[in-house]
Structure 1
């Protein structure tokens, strides 16, 4: 199984990460402030409850009277009622913010994924991305919404308790709070341990998500290679690592809160000891003594809550770092501001300013290298006239697919230009270019949904008539009508309900429905049978008529009618000409073509016998 590569993250609690994150969540500022205001009221009411207890003891118990007890009871009930309403409102508000936060962050992340260039997906696994968009975002939205509640409540409670205690008896307050300093030191120690442990848990979780994705996607391959036992062993290794790291992280978190509670109990014991002496010496009233014990006991509840919230924030910081990393990743290919201003961006097109593509294409003094340093082209030059069909042949890795990927601007030249109708295509928008190119891949990918919906992906506003016309043009209409529901038949996940040839025909219809000026076929017939290839070949001849087209060919029999055949070798054009011209040269193309022809005849004779 592939090992995913995690980016480096900070080694300690980083307020800058959270500050940056909240900038992206500015639209929730009012809701979060309202939530904080509600929790301030709740904490304030919680803070005065021991004062009411003191009043009751000093005025009713100590004086052995029930005068004004009804008024006190009504006031007490009123305060409790207000508190109940506050709690109901903040629970509803926090739940609403949690849901909307997750939606907003996922939408933001998904939008960025649509903008990122091909090179980003060359180095980022599906499992890594799925983990970011699901579990990381869920944890983050939970911590921001409910963690804010706990933190505000804890801080206001602690400030309220300390203020009231200091006002009533400074000496007893200092004695009770003497455990705060060692508690702070212990907190710093556990902060570092918990953050490190949970970051490791998140990293291994990403690997597990990647493993799941690979296993599900490659289930058939696993069966054919009989790799069930090996895959299980590899997966068990990751699961064991996850269990070990989770237990380690859980131990640190589990130890932290009991230590806080134990330190709080020591503070309470000191308050009971010294406070009891003060009562005996008549330094404080019995009601004040009970109030102090109550405050001391309750004081460490918000301390525990704050400690727990900090631990959760530490756990979630790894998620925050990864989300920020995704959202702030800049696409390598990006339209310039003046281009966006005129033509629009990927999501907001200004089609009224779009020029039509005539179809003249030129690769001029082109240099290109991949991010890993692999050089592909050096001073590559090629001119293609409107309506020409150019076939690209050559060994694997020679640069055939790179040519069409550069043409589609999935990658950009390191230097040099690609001119469309005489102008550098970087002076036009990405959406303008890619909306004018029909691209058919070697392995067609269909989305879950109906046949009609999949064809409509090529032009979202296509009418049913346009969809059917596109299907007829590529010879797909006949087999579509033979399915149970015709164009409304479900294709299944990844097109699993259709054969490879049928999926390819649907992908042809999807590519042609938008009536693109330029067509690209990247080994589009290499994975289908000969009979289906003839059907597709007839479709190709219709599609490519009067369109500038590039055909990356595996089966040379499909390109004999091409206007220009280029043999690409080590990033340069080794041979060029029509089929008949290259056959006469008796070079690489001749040897390749004759070998394929002999193989096909041998296969035909074997089938006959």
Structure 2
């Protein structure tokens, strides 16, 4: 079982700069309420490069739910219609009440307030609002299912795509960027489908319905209401233009502040060791001051939208009331109609501001969808062989989760590889490794040692030549079968949040308790495990920081021992343990390597004197190969490396 790479651990400085996330926790726009108040107005909006194409592709994910979306549309329309007719009907009750009061005041014989009629109107209103709420509930229920099913399919496609992407994709991008596309952008789409889509439908129907109802009452008052709109749009445009400049400054300062805090937190010990606390605090105060200046200006300017729109709205109400009073005096409309019209005029501005907000949110959502589709369109790994080759005659009898027993003959035949087309790294590499041999790979940093291992495990595809195991080319094998042959113990340990038992058992599916304990004993980890309060049930935290670095390395070695691999890959596996523990581990590793092909990336040359073959690499090429004695006798690059290390160790010992 191969040692897996650590997954994305975070997206770097949060808040600002995380693509696809709505800055400040709210979508840009002019909406009201928690998280969508006027402070969100003027926020920079991320826009898609190909809006129409991305929208069509996103709609493709909604196409299987056409019937459900039709139900959502129908229920949204019905819910809004039943809600809109309410003020008109309420006006009838007001008119009836007004007529009764005026009759009494004027002393009209038999004048009275018809409470029976009023109660009928109120009962009708209650029924209408209940029906409206019921349709609204159905709308939200169905849309929640559609949104989650759509996002489920999208998230499933993203996850499957990530499994098919080559290692070079992850090497060329930060974990934060990948995590942002797989999580933040998908969540952004989910929120928009769940809330903004239904809100857009409701706002549109409300706007049309309110205009129709106002026209049925008075076209004159409707005209007065519409005339006030240009003033609102002009005010919004002026405020948005000014506030967006401040919001950009706020987001920039927020990103710098988050980055500074993250750096100082992760390097807290280094900051203290070099006595740079004051300069760190001074830098924080400087950036925090910039954030304060930009923040309060942005919030103040954008916050002016409410009082300004309120002022314009009040002007409209006054004009409507005056016009309505005049029309009532001339018996053109009833007093109840004036009341209903004022109610409609209050509803008139809300759908417009909500639609403006939703338009910005949709732009941000389409940008998120575009980033997800860019990931889905990335070039995948070379497809598996149509008819995978078997490595051994007993391959069909292999136990699931356990490596197939193979001889372990490995051959590099005229291998060529380059990360970039114009920068060759490995050219015409030829290596022959026989079963059971221990192969040490040495060389300076950047020589290509890790690249050679990545090629062997087919994390990267060759540009030329071939690599074979027991005569079968790697391209003829399934990647899962190939990687199950290897056991890796890396210098950088990888353990997950779980018990020590689970972390060791990760090496082989279905391992028994006895096998886990036996592997721990072979790795000399059993003693320290039993000294822990919970023993093998001790839960490691997310970073496994509740045990020492050396203990973590022992657990990864135990996991490799349990995996019982056909081929071992060791990357200075004992570098994080003390000298006494290292001796025990070397013995355990020697036993583990018996009869297995082993590739050892060595930094301390003294640990690989007994290697069957030493490959000396530099600039991606094997410049020397042979045993320890042969290479020393040749007096070449290896001899110089060994001499420099030996001299350094000797000087250190003399000083001590």
Q: Distance in 1 between matches of 2:531 and 2:118?
A: 86
After superposition, the C-alpha distances for 1:166-197 in whole angstroms (9 at most, x for unaligned) are: 34444443342234466567767878888898
CA gap 1:260/1:446 in 2 versus in 1, 3 angstroms: same
CA gap 1:211/1:378 in 2 versus in 1, 3 angstroms: farther
Counterpart in the other structure of 2:415:
366
* 8 A contact 2:384–2:475 mirrored in 1: no
- The answer on 1:446 being equivalent to 2:483 is no
- The answer on 1:535 being equivalent to 2:572 is no
- The answer on 1:70 being equivalent to 2:70 is no
Task: Map residues 323-362 of structure 1 onto 2, 5 A cutoff.
Answer: 327-328=375-376, 330=378, 334-336=381-383, 357-362=406-411
Q: Secondary structure at the match of 1:306?
A: helix
Residue of structure 2 aligned with 1:480, choices 510, 529, 539? 529
Counterpart in the other structure of 1:347:
none
Q: Secondary structure at the match of 1:387?
A: coil
Task: Map residues 401-480 of structure 1 onto 2, 5 A cutoff.
Answer: 401-480=450-529
Q: Secondary structure at the match of 1:41?
A: helix
Counterpart in the other structure of 2:80:
43
Residue of structure 1 aligned with 2:213, choices 155, 160, 164? 164
After superposition, the C-alpha distances for 1:549-598 in whole angstroms (9 at most, x for unaligned) are: 21110111211111110111221111111112112212222232244334
CA gap 1:239/1:454 in 2 versus in 1, 3 angstroms: farther
Task: Map residues 376-387 of structure 1 onto 2, 5 A cutoff.
Answer: 376-387=425-436
CA gap 1:190/1:215 in 2 versus in 1, 3 angstroms: same
Residue of structure 2 aligned with 1:584, choices 630, 633, 643? 633
Q: Distance in 2 between matches of 1:285 and 1:168?
A: 9
Higher relative contact order (CA 8 A, sep 6+): 2
Task: Map residues 147-162 of structure 1 onto 2, 5 A cutoff.
Answer: 147-162=196-211
Residue of structure 1 aligned with 2:538, choices 475, 483, 489? 489
Question: Displacement, 1:159?
Answer: 1.3
After superposition, the C-alpha distances for 1:460-487 in whole angstroms (9 at most, x for unaligned) are: 4322222223223333233333333332
Question: Displacement, 1:453?
Answer: 1.6
CA gap 1:601/1:31 in 2 versus in 1, 3 angstroms: farther
Q: Distance in 2 between matches of 1:428 and 1:298?
A: 66
Q: Secondary structure at the match of 2:209?
A: helix
Question: Displacement, 1:83?
Answer: 4.3
* 8 A contact 1:363–1:380 mirrored in 2: yes
Counterpart in the other structure of 1:346:
none
Q: Distance in 2 between matches of 1:201 and 1:322?
A: 24
Q: How many aligned residue pairs are there? A: 598
Question: Displacement, 1:217?
Answer: 3.9
Question: Displacement, 1:548?
Answer: 1.9
* 8 A contact 1:440–1:522 mirrored in 2: yes
Question: Displacement, 1:254?
Answer: 3.5
CA gap 1:69/1:496 in 2 versus in 1, 3 angstroms: closer
Question: Displacement, 1:114?
Answer: 5.3
CA gap 1:496/1:423 in 2 versus in 1, 3 angstroms: same
Task: Map residues 272-351 of structure 1 onto 2, 5 A cutoff.
Answer: 272-313=321-362, 327-328=375-376, 330=378, 334-336=381-383
Question: Displacement, 1:281?
Answer: 3.2
Counterpart in the other structure of 2:396:
none
Q: Distance in 1 between matches of 2:489 and 2:314?
A: 71
* 8 A contact 1:202–1:319 mirrored in 2: no
* 8 A contact 2:517–2:526 mirrored in 1: yes
Once structures 1 and 2 are overlaid, which stretch shifts more, 434-443 or 496-505?
496-505
Once structures 1 and 2 are overlaid, which stretch shifts more, 284-293 or 229-238?
229-238
After superposition, the C-alpha distances for 1:55-88 in whole angstroms (9 at most, x for unaligned) are: 2234443365415333223222323344455566
Q: Distance in 2 between matches of 1:409 and 1:193?
A: 54
Q: Distance in 2 between matches of 1:178 and 1:369?
A: 67
After superposition, the C-alpha distances for 1:387-422 in whole angstroms (9 at most, x for unaligned) are: 222111111111111111221223332333333333
Once structures 1 and 2 are overlaid, which stretch shifts more, 258-267 or 452-461?
258-267
Q: Distance in 1 between matches of 2:287 and 2:334?
A: 62
TM-score, normalized by length of structure 2? Answer: 0.77
Q: Secondary structure at the match of 1:454?
A: helix
CA gap 1:220/1:137 in 2 versus in 1, 3 angstroms: farther
Q: Distance in 2 between matches of 1:238 and 1:16?
A: 40
- The answer on 1:564 being equivalent to 2:625 is no
Q: Distance in 1 between matches of 2:160 and 2:505?
A: 21
Residue of structure 1 aligned with 2:595, choices 537, 546, 552? 546
Q: Distance in 2 between matches of 1:406 and 1:43?
A: 62
- The answer on 1:52 being equivalent to 2:89 is yes
Q: Distance in 1 between matches of 2:316 and 2:405?
A: 79
Question: Displacement, 1:91?
Answer: 7.0
Q: Distance in 2 between matches of 1:602 and 1:106?
A: 58
